[in-house]
Amino acid sequence: MLTAFTRAFRTPDLRKKLLFTLFIIAVFRLGSQLPAPGVNTGAVHRCVDVVSKGANANVYGLVNLFSGGALLKLSIFALGIMPYITASIILQLLTVVIPRLEALRKEGQAGTTKITQYTRYLTIGLAILQGTGIVAMASTGNLLQGCTEDLLWNKSWFTIVTMVVTITAGTSVIMWLGELVTDRGVGNGMSILIFTQVVAVFPSEFWNIYKTKGGFVFAIVLIVGIAIVAGVVFVEQAQRRIPVQYAKRMVGRRMYGGTSTYIPLKVNQAGVIPVIFASSLLYLPSLIVQMWHSSNPVATFISKYLVKGDHPIYMALYFLLIIFFTYFYVAITFNPTEVADNMKKYGGFIPGIRPGRPTAEYLDYVLTRITAPGALYLGLIALVPMVAFGIIGASQNFPFGGTSILIMVGVGLDTVKQIESQLQQRNYEGFLR
């Protein structure tokens, strides 16, 4: 492994790509620490300490995760990559509903470029909305519940508009940095930035566990974390390979086809999207509690059962929502009928299965069976930080579990594969021996 890293840095063009990627990551982390104009940084740091120890710490967990801790600090990159993720998910869902987007997706590179442009516009719109909401909550004191200090030096309209414009511009810069990494660096740029934001909170979480629980609990957390990472890597790499045979056919004077390949169906076909959907949906009760009066019986019920992440009812609902969204997202992203039609069009068939409708039914049957363990796996991994919160009192951003570990392992594996493929062009041993 270490010698492979050495060979990667000894290769001139690959070394330039790696150094460029590291430079963009450094710029990205610098922007995450620079406060937006008009922010009282001292009050913000004191309020963050209060929030991290309060009862509502789980409310800010997922939102702050995708900003690498920049959201609660009100930096110029406070929104992080979250608006782009939301816009991408919305466009992906609308592709199934709107025929125009479906036609663009089938046009190849030109259609993909157009959809990417739509994603950028939607990202800016969402950034304006989210930035306005965050600045408004910061000015009224509702951003960090339990803290009474003024987060802004000046609450004038000019200061608020300047902050919204700055945060929105920060989101645009993040998109630009991600595209630069994709074009000139290593790996997918947006994924690398998400990975950076997730990993950025690890040192502080490790230090908090060590400081509050001691070295013994810290060692147990490391051992359990390594076991969880190994299990996640095993499941993320697991796939069901459906064999496909292509018949020979004559085109002009040349013979085509006659090859054997396979359709890889991953156990975790949905990725981390179901966890994000379920977390976002369960974030709504917390917003309802903030809007309603605390004496309202509905608000009292919600704050008792649906806000605290370590409550059994919250965990059960979270688990069921993840299973539901896993099946839902797999159903809209993988169309067995379309795959069967494409196979039939190019003379492909699954051995023992007739082309056309029987092939689509077989693919749907296999996908339904393989999605069940994938959904259970996502639900169990997502519950790890909540169980840790109840057992050892760790914060909701427990390092080894939930959305963070899924993103970290997924992006890490994809990036390693890309580095390996580039190394194999020059050396057969590749990145992993």
pLDDT in tens, 382-426: 887 777 656 655 544 455 666 778 888 888 888 888 887 777 776
Query: Which class for 374: exposed (0-12), middle (13-18), buried (19 or more C-beta within 10 A)?
Result: buried
pLDDT in tens, 9-41: 777 888 888 889 999 999 988 888 888 888 777
Containing 23, the helix (H) or strand (E) segment is helix 12-33
Please give the Cα distance from 67 to 178 (Å, whole number): 14
Percent above pLDDT 70 for the chain:
76
Give buried/exposed letters for 377-389 (b at 16+ CB in 10 A, else e). Answer: bbbebbbbbbbbb
pLDDT higher than 70, residue 303:
no
Same fold: 1-199+403-433 with 201-400: yes
Average pLDDT over residues 341-368: 87
Q: How confident is the model at residue 61 (pLDDT cuts 50, 70, 90)?
A: low
In the structure encoding, which two tokens stand for residue 46, read together? 């004191």
pLDDT in tens, 88-134: 888 888 887 888 888 888 787 888 888 889 999 999 998 898 888 88
Containing 76, the helix (H) or strand (E) segment is none
In the structure encoding, which two tokens stand for residue 263, read together? 């359709």
Query: Which class for 350: exposed (0-12), middle (13-18), buried (19 or more C-beta within 10 A)?
Result: buried
pLDDT in tens, 62-93: 556 656 666 667 788 888 888 888 888 888 88
Please give the Cα distance from 55 to 69 (Å, whole number): 18
Strand 254-256 and strand 249-251: the pairing is: antiparallel
**What CATH code would you report for 201-400?**
1.10.3370.10
pLDDT at res. 430: 47
pLDDT at res. 121: 92
* Cβ-Cβ contacts under 8 Å for 422 (sequence gap 6 or more): 14, 186
H-assigned helices in 185-272: 189-200, 202-237
pLDDT at res. 172: 92
pLDDT in tens, 151-188: 777 778 888 888 889 999 999 999 999 889 988 888 88
pLDDT at res. 89: 81
Q: How many CA atoms lie within 13 A of 210 on its CB side?
A: 9
Average pLDDT over residues 354-366: 90
Look-up of token digits 């459906």: 242
Average pLDDT over residues 232-251: 82
Regarding pTM above 0.85, the answer is no
If you average pLDDT over every residue of the chain, what do you get?
78
Average pLDDT over residues 261-270: 87
CATH 2.60.40.1120 fits 1-199+403-433, yes or no: no
Sketch the domain layout of the chain as residue ranges: 1-199+403-433, 201-400
Please give the Cα distance from 174 to 171 (Å, whole number): 5
CA distances from 293 to 37, 117, 140, 142, 305 (A): 33, 42, 16, 14, 17
Rg, the chain, Cα only? 24
Chain CA centroid to CA 151, Å? 29
